[in-house]
Structure 1
Amino acid sequence: MKLKNTLGVVIGSLVAATSVSALAQGQGAVEVEAFGKHYFTDSSRNLENGQLYGASVGYFLTDDVELALSYGEYHNLNSDDRVLDNNTRHKNIKGSLSSLDALYHFGQPGVGLRPYVSAGVAHQSIGQADRSGRDRSTFANIGTGLKYYFTENFYARAGVDGQYNIDANESEWMAGVGVGLNFGGGARPAPVVEPTPEPAPAPIVDEEPEPQPELVRVELDVKFDFDKSRVREESYGDIKNLADFLNQYPQTSTTVEGHTDSVGTDAYNQKLSERRAGAVRDVLVNQYGVDSGRVSSVGYGESRPVADNATEEGRQINRRVEAEVEAEIR
């Protein structure tokens, strides 16, 4: 595969991804990246330092762990071919590098800085200056670097990769930068607003009674990952449904209540429940335009379980934020 074809696939993916409506970081997301690296070679193959240009695609197995496949081609990689009359002639070496790496990201998904470490394997196919054929080597990779997410989806990266040539028993390394796009995720269907049964009409006396108001209610139940306060992408539909109801009935208000499971200390879980409630309140106010004075938040820590904390299923149910609001329709 030529480098321009590889970059074409990545650029096409970037353009197509910008049309996806549900974009998010975290588990299940996909990252595509174009990169350039400076290649510092080993000593035994008589190669001069050059550049590696290519692209990668990665999939997030969890919020923090990504599995990435990359392909790049070498440029400006020269070798001393032979010496004639004290004049050194250089040969431009062609080659490619394919890698499979696992990356662990630190910090929370979202806008901002996320350091990472990586490890994996690579296969190099490169020309030889002194004879025909190609030199093929297997590498063990280890690396570290920084990603900065300018938005939820667009980021830039800088990093250093150490490579151990298993076949030649020598070490090499690369330093490079890249830009990429993170996309994926989706939202579950919003809950249906069901009106409560209409009360029985009052007995008729001398005049016809006034119509009785109908009471409608919206309830919110947002689940969270263990020890996390980031709102899952699939919960945004539920939160928007509550925001639409509040905006439709401006006389209403609500309290967002945060809860945790029983893992951890009481003090830690109290703070975690407050952060979860605050995160949902921020989505209502900042993303869906609900007046901040109509939404309050409170955390109850682990004090109000609704399921058995002795099981993983029960603890998942208890890691939640709840809210409800009622309105009368005449």
Structure 2
Amino acid sequence: MKRKICTLAVLAALPLMSGTAAANTPTAAELQDRVFGSIFAEYYMPDRKKTRSVDWDYLTRGEGIGFDVGYRIDENWAIRAEFARQRLKNKLEGDRITGNRFGIDALYHLDNSGVYVLAGLKHHDMNHTNSVNVGIGYRAFINESVSFFAEANRYQGLNKDTSWADAGIKVGLSYYFGAASAAAPAPAPAPAPAATPAPAVTDSDGDGVPDSRDKCPNTPRGHRVDADGCTIYSETEQRVGSAEIRVLFGFDSAEVSREQRADVARLADYLKRYPSARVEIEGHASRIGAADYNMGLSERRAKAVADLLINTHGIESSRITTKGYGFNNPRMEGTSREAHRANQRIEALVTATIKEPVMR
């Protein structure tokens, strides 16, 4: 889906930009051996799995700005180095997460057109990952040195779970250093006197609320807003995680030993990181002994983990519930040693209030 969005965005920009590409467009030979620099804005779309995973900080779409410096090697090939500053969002809390992306690209320009394709290597310091990217773009010249461009890229992960694939759309302005020819440009005719425009109501962010009473300028396009021009959010209760806590107990014991507290500490760190999250501690047992006894033992063990979160790690008791299941919800059927090991477990089910903007 993101690949289609990126492609359609570039194709939609072509007719808008092609109107500037006329007699002012330099030939490929005139661009050869010239250094260029660009500034751009972008809209970045992380892979859906990042939006749903705590390992990726629940990253969701956002914007960025950046610049690049490049060199036109010959009539078709060019190289460039790129830097981008990104401001993405945490879907769970709605907070902005900033980070940098930098890397290099090789560009191949198709003959007798403004279209080019590219491939490159990038580093994303937001999650300390690397990726390869491929893309397509279109460039239209205003004059022999200045051009507009639109570009779409697909980023494929190389480490930290290589199955992710992000996408991004860029628009920008480039300047080619050096002169294409020694001819002086013809003097421009003097502009005709402009008529004094009538006062107009301005709405810079296009949200339907005039700037004069817009308390939230630069509202993202497509967000529904209130009378003050601020985004309206909806809140829904969702389950955002389920994890087994590897806590082993001694025979007929509900005491958590020092050696078994690492997973409990990690769960506490997660709850501190997301204050709106709540957790249910579930105790499970294997089919050894009487059902009533195992039910009580699983409840005591779940409560022992909850007490450790409250008394040792300072998690509010109002955010924690416990429940014992005995052997009513086995992970593995049977009475083998493997089944007993798999079923004697503690699980933590995490829920949170997800805050999302209401779209128009």
Query: Which TM-score band (shorter chain)?
Result: 0.3 to 0.5
Give the TM-score normalised by structure 1.
Answer: 0.42
Greater share of strand? 1
